[in-house]
Amino acid sequence: MPTRKEILEMLAQGQIDVTRATEMLNEANAAPPAPEPVAERAEEAAPLVETPTPSSPPAKPQSRSRWLHIHVSELDTGRNRVRVNVPLGLVSFGLRVGARFTDEVDSEMMRDVMRALHDQEISGTLVEVEDLDDNERVHIFVD
């Protein structure tokens, strides 16, 4: 069974389509984790509880996953028309794949956007637009 990374790379290279990638990712998520190899001798077995040593650096706190939100709502009632929430990791992947299929995107600009996404420089409201003619409010933000 290929890993998530391998599946996404196959999708990016055009070896599989989005439908097949989705199926493979669902199968990978449903598959039980592979069993860890058992040590052959007791001396090789790892201790059950690892005690921290004074020389080991403290573990980095896990960062909270970040999302790109696109919300479209009615101006007068506030009722939602569209709500799209996408993990920034997937946005980053989509940008890399999309950049391969167009000559209109400057590679330097793409690197800057990718760096800003990775370094968490982009946060909060990116775009907020109210269209009075269509009675819509579009709010795009990152958190």
Cβ contacts of residue 27 below 8 Å, gap of 6+?
1
Instruction: Give residue-wise pLDDT tens across range 50-97.
Output: 545 455 445 444 456 789 999 999 999 999 999 999 998 888 888 888
Question: What value does the mean pLDDT take over residues 2-12?
Answer: 83
Domain locations in the chain? Answer: 1-31, 66-143
Contact between 46 and 111 under an 8 Å Cβ cutoff? The reply is no
Which runs of consecutive H residues, i.e. helices, occur in 1-143?
A: 4-12, 18-30, 88-99, 107-118
Torsions phi, psi of 46, nearest 5? Answer: -75, 150
Strands (E), 46-99: 67-74, 80-87
22-46 pLDDT, tens per residue? 888 778 777 655 555 555 544 455 5
Q: What mean pLDDT is predicted for residues 97-121?
A: 80
Tell me phi and psi for residue 126, to 5 degrees. Answer: -100, -45
